[in-house]
Each structure stands twice: as C-alpha cells, then as structure tokens.
Amino acid sequence: MDMFYFIVQQSMVFMIPLLIVALGGMFSERSGIVNIALEGKMVMGAFTGVLFLNIFQNPENVSDQGILLLALLVAMITGMLISLFHAFASINLKANQIISGIAINMFAPAFAIYIAIFYLDGQFVPFINQFRIASVPILGDIPILGPLLFQRTYITTYIGFLILAVSTIVLYKTKFGLRLRACGEYPQAADSVGISVAKIRYAGVLISGALAGMGGLIWIVPISSRFGGSVAGYGFLALAVLIFGAWKPMRILFASFFFGIMQTIASSFTAIPFLLNLGIPAAFYSMAPYVATLLLLAFTSKNTQAPKAAGQPYDKGMR
Amino acid sequence: MKRDSILSLISTLIVIIVGLLIGLIVLLASDSNQAFPAFWTMISFGLRNMRNVGDVLLGATPIILTGLSVTFAFKTGLFNIGAAGQFAFGGYTAIYIGVQFLFLPPPLRIICSILGAALAGAVWGAIPGLLKAYRNVHEVITSIMTNYIGMYLLSYTIQNTIFDINRTTTTRMPDDSNLPSLGLNYIFREPLGEGYRASAVNLGIFIAIFLAILVYIILDKTKFGYELKACGFNKDAAKYAGINQNRNIVFSMMICGAIAGIGGALIYMNGTGLSMTALPLLAMEGFTGISVAFLGLTNPIGVIFSGIFVSYLFLGGARMQPFGFSLELVNIVVAVIIYFCAFVLVVKTNIGKIFPKSREGE
C-alpha cells in the first residue's frame, strides 16, 4: 500500500504542471490561437518566479507558503507579459502563429540564462526549497485518502485542481466560455452577433500565458532547488497532453494523470521491486511515457477534432 | 530577379537590422562599456579571415539541412518539429557505417554513410507521417514523442554498439570515413606561425546547397512537388483532383526525415573529431533548423542564406565571452529576428497593396 501512495504522490509532481499548462494551452487554442509557445512561457514564469524567491525568500522562515503564492503571482504576470507578444503578432498583425511561438520558445531560455549569467555569475538561479507539506492538518489523517492526497504534498497540487474546476466552469457555464469556443470554431459567426473576436482571443492568449507561467514555477518547485533556463520539454509535453486531451478539461485531466503515472514509473522504477526485477534497461522505462502516448493517440485520435479556426488569423472579409 | 523576391529580400534585411539593434540594446543595458566592442566582434568575426569564413560554412552545413527539412514540411502543409530526432538517427547511422563498415573502400563507405543516414532519417520521419495520414494524429505531437523516444533509444543504442566509454560518446571514426575537404583547406585558412591553420569546411556544404536547389526544383518544377504542395494548400481540393493525400503526407515526412538525417551525417563526418554523445540529449540543430527555415521565409534557396547567417552569428557570438557576455545573446537576437520574420509576410502583402503590380506590356 505504501508503494501505491508513493506512486500517486510522485505522479502529482509530474501531473500538476502538465495539467495547468495544458489547460492554459486550451484557453488559447479554443479561442483560435495555436499556442506552441507554452514551453517558452513556462521558462519565463519559472525564471521570474525563482528569481523572486531568490531575492525575497527569508532564510529564517523558508517554508513560508505565502512567499510561494507571491512567486506564483509573479510567474503568472510574466507569462501574461510574454504572451502579449504572441497575441499582438497573431491577432493584430495576423502573422503566422507558429512562427511567433517559435520565437518565444527560443527567446525565453536565452533570456533567462543570459540574465542569470550576467547578474548571478552562473547559469543557475538558486532558491531554498522547503515548500513541501509533510501532512495537511486534519485532512492528512483521513485513512487512505489522507496519504493519497494530503501527505507529502505541495500547495500547488490544490491550486492545480482548483484551476481545473474553474476552467471547466468558465469554459462550459459562462458567457465568456461560450464566446471563447465560438471564436475558436467559427469566428465569423461570433463576429456577426457583435462579439469582438480580437478581444476574446487576447483574453484566451493571456489566460494561457498566466497559467503557463505559473505552471513553469510549479514544475520547478518540487523537483529542484535551482533553475537553469529549461523546463525539460514540459511545455511541449503539455501541448501533447492538450491534444491527447482533445481540448477538453476533463480529458486533459485524464491525459495528464496518465502521463504523470508513466513518468513516475520511468523515473523511479528502481524503487518499485516488481519493475526492477523485470530486468528491462532503464532507457526503455524512460521511453515508456512517450511510446504509450503515441500508441494511445494512434488508437483514440481517429475522430478527435482540433478547434476548427485554430491557427487561422481572423479576417472580417472572409464572412 | 522577380519583384516578389526583391520584396522578400528587402523586408528580411530590415528585420535582421531590427533584430541586431535590439541585441545591441540588450548589450548596452547590461554593460555599456563593453557593449560596442562585443557587438562588433559578434558581427565581424566571421569575416576576419578566410578560416573564419570557412568555419561559418562548416557550421551552416547541418542547419541548412535541418532548415530545409522544416521548409519542405511547411511547404507541404506539415510542421516538422521532429527534425531533432531524424537528425540524430541520421548522425548515428552515418557514424555506425563509418566505424564498422571498414571493409568498404573509403569513397563507397562515405556514400553508404550518407545514404544510410538519409534512410534512417526517412524511417524516423515516416512514423509521424503514417500516424498523421492513417490515424489522424497531429504531426506536432507525434514528432515531440518521437524526438524523446529517439533520444533515449539512441542513448541506449550507442552505449551498446559503438561506445567510447571514456568520453561517453560514439567511437571516433577513422579519418578516411570523413568527408573529403576537396582542397577547400587551401582556400579557407589563416596564417599561423610558420604554416597555416585551415578550417575543416568540406564537401558537406556543397551537398547542402545541392539539396536545397534540388528541393526547390522538386517543389516548384515537378508534378510530384505540385501534388505535395496541393495537399498542404487544400487537402479537400487535392483529394477531389485525384491526389492520394495520405500517401503524399507519408512521402513528405519521409523526405523531410531524409534531409534532416543527411544533416546529421554531415555534421559528424566533418573531420573535426566531433562525436555523438551517449547522454540523452535532443539535437539542438533540429530546433535551430526551425529558426533557419522561417528566417529563410520557408524558401529552399532562402534557407541556404539564412543557414549561413545564423552560423555566422553563432561563430561571432561565441567570441563575446571575453567581454563578459554569453552566447545566449545570439539566441536572443535570432529570436527577435524570427519574431519579426512573422511580420515579413504581412508587410509584403501590404507593400503589394500600396504599390500594385504594373500591368504586363507597359
């Protein structure tokens, strides 16, 4: 049973950032803007968030959750700022959405490392990593559910689930969500009833920036005590989760959970006696999440549809 | 030159100047005393002597090919983010043949290396192609997956085949498995003491340029290329016209993979003793190729120049370290340039509106 708890706790570490960033990507793509820049936005968010911790973290009280929340806010704002470039190019100038995404992906790590080397004399920005919660008061003592969800956890896990709940409601139960989806499917129709396609798409891209920036910081906090300008391809994996999740919140949850479990098996199979005894080389465990995703997609994607207007600049004349 | 090409050229030059200026501003903001000498080094180093010119061409060779791979995909309506994996598979296959197939005479062995690399790249490129054509899976996601799968698979394969345990890389190839320099070492060299120090630039750059021209001809002058482009432009119309679009998607991805794979062969066969790491790392050349492709405005001939330009910046950028600036500045400059490249197409159409084409015969 301990092994089971361990796997679930570990999976959260991989799953939550993927979930949040993929949900971010969802808001952008459902509004009609392809977002290949998730990786770059994560890097920017992680960078400024960690830099904030590096400067303002109080060595006397390192496990202060408040400072982490503030750092998350910083990361969100950074993600939104960098998103503005993506939004401006793809909405106002109607430029190719992939190109500006590539530019952001290239800019972000270069910028983070450049600044770190110049001002901190090293590629890495260190921070004190003491944010793990051993056990949530009261809730952590519940049998089964306690160890599963409320022990050895991070506050970011709950933020992730909160974002999932809010995203689902916003997308399906609000006027804004309906308009967002309309702009991604058939912007001409949305425009014809007086909705500003540009405004809605700006909102979509900015939300995606905020969530991706935040996701970047959430990715780095549990796994390291320094940030070196890379999120190890998690932005691209989030994109994969988004597509695997068919651009729908609950399926994204499932996709990120699946990927989280697979990553846990890949990274800690040596701690799982059953898998260790199989004698399969480590490289194949590392490959497993990607192979499994590929196979699953091959069998489930036949009928999934991307948002129809994603990737196409909105042209009023096309009505 | 056609009016369209002139417009592209002018807008690209403007974009490059803007990118460089922003780079200068970043330098000035970090250290105003060192900014100008460092900037000058970056933009002039590649032309300081013939050896540096040779090194620019040497560095351009693999990224022209990955750029070409991305360009080919883009022209046929696909986005090849998997060039990194195809490149790595090509590189590994070329090294394997170079190390193991010593029974072949050198020229034949070199040809086998390149063809083997093309085949390996094509096979790895075919996976996203097949999944896109027959299972409706977006090629971007499958390419991301195949990149990572390839990364771990190659790391494992290297460690179990041609492994140099001391350097944790592939075994060094014998010298005669490398591409011949064709006498280029007498042109691209600089005086050093009594003798000369030559650049390792070799046959590879000619192969890269030849392939770029070949891709241009295939895409623009043949029925096959026309069909591939038609699928990218409007797949329903292509289908209606009797074009087998599924088969064409697979062909496109295989050709992309082959081109990127050859890029991998040429970089490891360049005679500098470069070996492939056994660590699980993605090949950066694959991603630089995306930049090169868009900087070249996804034109096969443009890619030759953008590849040389990016290589030029990287060579000079590495020389900024003595001034206290990291090579990352080059990536910032290239990123800014690419960002503005996205506008080039927009600017071009608008210039076209302001100055309408003169009627023929006037």
Provide the CATH number for the domain around residue A69: 1.10.3470
CATH number for the region B57-316 comes to 1.10.3470
The DSSP secondary-structure symbol of A88 reads I
User: Which pLDDT band holds residue B289 (cuts at 50, 70, 90)?
Assistant: very high
- Under DSSP, is residue B296 helix (H, G, I), strand (E, B) or coil? coil
**Mean pLDDT for all residues in chain A:** 85
Whether residue A236 lies within 8 A of chain B, CB to CB, comes out as yes
Total number of domains in chain A = 1
Quick check: B149 and A287 CB within 8 A? yes
User: Which pLDDT band holds residue B354 (cuts at 50, 70, 90)?
Assistant: low
Tokens for B50? 């013939």
Tokens for B26? 């970043």
Question: What is this structure's pTM?
Answer: 0.87
> Quick one: how far is CA A200 from the chain centroid?
21
Task: Select from B82, B78, B63, B77 the least CA-distant residue to B257.
Answer: B82
Q: Contact B19/B333 with Cβ under 8 angstroms?
A: yes
Size of interface A-B (CB pairs under 8 A): 135
Alpha helices (runs of H) in B31-103, residue ranges in sequence order: 32-44, 50-75, 83-100
Nearest CB neighbour to A110, from listed B136, B335, B339: B335
Domain containing residue A161? 2-318
For residues B262, B265, B267, B272, the Cα torsion angle rounded to the nearest 10 degrees is -150
User: Which pLDDT band holds residue B361 (cuts at 50, 70, 90)?
Assistant: very low
The kind and range of the H/E element at B195 are: strand B195-198
Q: What is the pLDDT of residue A290?
A: 86
Mean per-residue pLDDT, B129-136: 88
Whether residue B146 lies within 8 A of chain A, CB to CB, comes out as yes
- Under DSSP, is residue B30 helix (H, G, I), strand (E, B) or coil? helix
Task: Select from B21, B49, B47 the least CA-distant residue to B35.
Answer: B21
- Measured from the Cβ of residue A259, the count of other Cβ atoms closer than 10 Å reads 26
CA distances from A13 to A10, A121, A215 (A): 5, 30, 11
The CB-side HSE value for B345 (13 A sphere, CA atoms) comes to 18
Q: What is the pLDDT of residue B92?
A: 94
- Measured from the Cβ of residue B313, the count of other Cβ atoms closer than 10 Å reads 27
pLDDT tens sequence across B180-234: 888 888 888 888 888 888 888 889 999 999 999 999 999 989 888 888 888 877 7
- Under DSSP, is residue B332 helix (H, G, I), strand (E, B) or coil? helix
Q: Which residue has the higher pLDDT, B347 or A308?
A: A308
Helix orientation angle between B50-75 and B83-100, rounded to the nearest 10 degrees: 120
Whether residue B153 lies within 8 A of chain A, CB to CB, comes out as yes
Whether residue A124 lies within 8 A of chain B, CB to CB, comes out as no
Residues of B in contact with A25 (CB under 8 A): none
Nearest CB neighbour to B338, from listed A106, A237, A306: A106
Residue that is written with structure tokens 């340029």 in the block = B209
Residues of B in contact with A85 (CB under 8 A): 339
pLDDT tens sequence across A274-299: 777 777 788 888 888 888 888 888 88
Per-residue pLDDT for B63 more than 90?
Answer: yes
Task: Select from B334, B275, B290 the least CA-distant residue to B310.
Answer: B334
Residue A211 exposed, middle or buried by CB count within 10 Å (0-12, 13-18, 19+): buried
Q: What is the pLDDT of residue A273?
A: 74
Q: What is the pLDDT of residue B4?
A: 73
Amino acid symbol at B165: I
Mean per-residue pLDDT, B149-170: 88
User: Which pLDDT band holds residue B268 (cuts at 50, 70, 90)?
Assistant: very high
Disruptive mutation site among B142, B145, B327 for chain A (greatest number of A CBs within 10 Å): B145
CA distances from B219 to B130, B228, B249 (A): 21, 8, 14
Question: What's the rounded Cα separation, in Å, for the pair B137 and A300?
Answer: 9
In which region does residue A121 sit, left (phi positive, over 0), alpha (psi from -120 to 50) or beta (all else)?
Answer: left
Q: Which residues of chain A have pLDDT under 70?
A: 1, 58, 60-63, 303, 317-319
The DSSP secondary-structure symbol of B290 reads H
Residue that is written with structure tokens 């400024």 in the block = A48
Q: From the CA of B148, how many Å to the nearest CA of chain A? A: 7
Nearest CB neighbour to A100, from listed B153, B155, B342: B342
Domain extent listing, chain B: 57-316
pLDDT tens sequence across B323-346: 878 888 888 888 888 888 777 767
Q: What is the pLDDT of residue B345?
A: 66
